[in-house]
Amino acid sequence: MTADTWWRTATVYQIYPRSFADSDGDGVGDLRGVISRLDHLVALGVGALWLSPVYPSPQDDNGYDISDYYDIDPMFGTLADFDELLREAHARGIRVVMDLVVNHTSDEHPWFVESRDPGSPKRDWYWWRPLPNNWGSRFSGPAWEFDDRSGEYYLHIFSRKQPDLNWENADLRQEIHRMMRWWLDRGVDGFRMDVINFISKPVGLPDAHLTDGTRYGDAEALYTNGPRLHDFLQEMHREVFAGREAVLLTVGETPGTSVDQARLLTDPSRRELDMIFQFDHVEIDQGRDKWDIRPLDLVALKRTFERWQHGLSDAGWNSLYWNNHDQPRIVSRWGDDTTYREESAKLLATVLHLHRGTPYVFQGEEIGMTNTRFRSIDDFADIQSRNYYTDAVTRRGEPADVVLDALRARSRDNGRTPMQWDDTENAGFSTGTPWLATNPNFVHINAAAQLHDPASVFAHYRALIALRRTEPLVTDGVFTLLLPDDPAIYAFTRTHAERGLLVLANFSSDAVAVPDGAMAGWPGSPLVIGNYPDSPPTLHRSVRLRPWESVVVRRGTG
């Protein structure tokens, strides 16, 4: 990383292709749809797009189960379409980051098909055992499946159609490096690496501690950040990225990772990754798992961000996100998606984007898309949600309405409803029947209605993204949390010498007074960005924030 590395001032936009734009009317988004909407990204001002998987796949987990690393699924288009997307994006100054899913393949990948033969040289490319250990799958049930052909069990941390690759095998690693170079040579600008900190497992695959009420152990601590993770990543860097570091972006998805581990993973001198997606902040409102929902504890959220901001201030780099294809919509989760939808969507954006790191915007977040309505389990498509329902209701006998309520709040399908482009049929996403029902609120929440409205959520995101490009304080200013114990106000500064930015945000539907002490030296500072149409042009001495109001003010010039 050099001081002028492009992704320090850029914002990345995540596209979930099956829900973004459908060019051929089959109800599933595709690459030509993405190409047709690139100007939306230009209008927003992002520097890169991250494309969730478009490789051939049986789609058991919507493409995170890959059966061929060297092609495009016909559902999404062709390699020629992909090359055109690269050209069109690059022509607009937008880089393209591919999703790299190499902790596991599909069970229909030829490697796994071969591996099922106990005599095959590929046998060792997956984890086969005569008897399973007690690990549970992240998609409910055991993490092992018995295979008749082999007479043994194979490990799958996700669905049974996603067998885990054995990275201990050097031939496998070489094959993955080769594939990555092939995409880079084609012109892609980096990788978002799916659960990359799961690739090193303790080879003995020891049993995990049993979790309450299940037969399966919680093995996350055993398979995350395993013994050879850093070796594998450094080898990947040597084999794939060396010499191309300055132009690429590598971001690892790393559940269960501490700040100390993140420093190791992202310190540029160690040559592993540029940044990671940590999970501490998105797990703050859950108990034993994501379905065990707790109210947001703002104080804990602030403390978490503070820890990450400080922990990676002198080494490594943060990624900043509220949303992606695995999370419910942030405005429904921690904002107010009824009375104060626009205000709270803008406030959440302000708070996130004013931290140090690279922000990620998930499609639809920039227009304040919300969670959707699910009437029954039949309305869900996501394998994790459906498996959880079956397991909880059928096996554990939990009340269906309680389980459904958890799914309504937390299901990944909330983030996967079609992008809301305009107020025409299916929100302008498709002329066919969308694979997942469009959120009915598209008639008033859509991109067309916001693009030219200077007071829109979209305009607010555009302004934040532009501020990051032009204001070095956003990139590098020192982060200081103010009012750490205030239950409603999120306040912090970003400073460098005499210059600084102050962020004040009211995470509540009541008006609140900001304690004067928090603002010494700031009254009179001019407004940089506010989320009410009549935000005061300068900061008053006694500030009262209206419901979900946020302001950013500036001190010093130059």
Contact positions vs ligand NOJ (CB under 6 A): 61, 64, 101, 158, 194-195, 253, 325-326
d(CA 162, CA 148): 17
CA 461 to chain centre: 17
In the chain, the amino acid numbered 529 is: I
Return the SS3 of 518. Answer: helix
Q: Which positions ≥6 away from 337 have C-beta within 8 Å?
A: 329, 331, 344, 370, 371
- Indicate the pairing of strand 12-15 with strand 358-362: parallel
Distances 166 to 105, 203, 223, 409 between C-alpha atoms, Å: 11, 9, 12, 35
Instruction: Yes or no: say if 479 and 491 are a contact pair by the CB < 8 Å rule.
Output: no
d(CA 136, CA 283): 19
> CA-based diameter of the chain, in Å?
77
Beta carbon nearer to ligand NOJ, 128 or 139 = 139
Phi, psi of 96 (to 5 degrees): -120, 120
Tokens of 129: 């055992």
Work out how close the CB of 64 gets to ligand NOJ at its nearest, in angstroms, rounded to a whole number. 3
Work out how close the CB of 127 gets to ligand NOJ at its nearest, in angstroms, rounded to a whole number. 16
Q: Which residue is nearest to ligand NOJ (CB)?
A: 64
d(CA 97, CA 95): 7
d(CA 111, CA 132): 21
In 3D, which of 351, 304, 355 has the Cα closest to residue 494? 355
Beta carbon nearer to ligand NOJ, 97 or 195 = 195
Burial of 461 (0-12, 13-18, 19+ CB in 10 A): buried
Instruction: Yes or no: say if 225 and 261 are a contact pair by the CB < 8 Å rule.
Output: yes
| Contacts made by residues 490-496, CB under 8 angstroms, sequence distance 24+ | 490/298, 490/301, 490/302, 490/351, 491/518, 492/354, 492/355, 494/354, 494/356, 495/555, 496/472
* E-state strands within 93-226: 95-100, 128-129, 144-147, 152-155, 190-193
Phi, psi of 144 (to 5 degrees): -130, 145
Q: Which positions ≥6 away from 21 have C-beta within 8 Å?
A: 29, 30, 33, 34, 36, 37, 419, 421, 429
CB atoms within 10 A of CB 335: 26
Torsion, Cα 464 465 470 475, to 10 degrees, reads: 90
d(CA 115, CA 126): 7
* E-state strands within 238-277: 249-253, 275-277
Work out how close the CB of 57 gets to ligand NOJ at its nearest, in angstroms, rounded to a whole number. 11
Cα Rg for the chain, rounded, in angstroms? Answer: 23
Return the SS3 of 115. Answer: helix
Query: Which residues are known to be catalytic?
Result: 194, 253
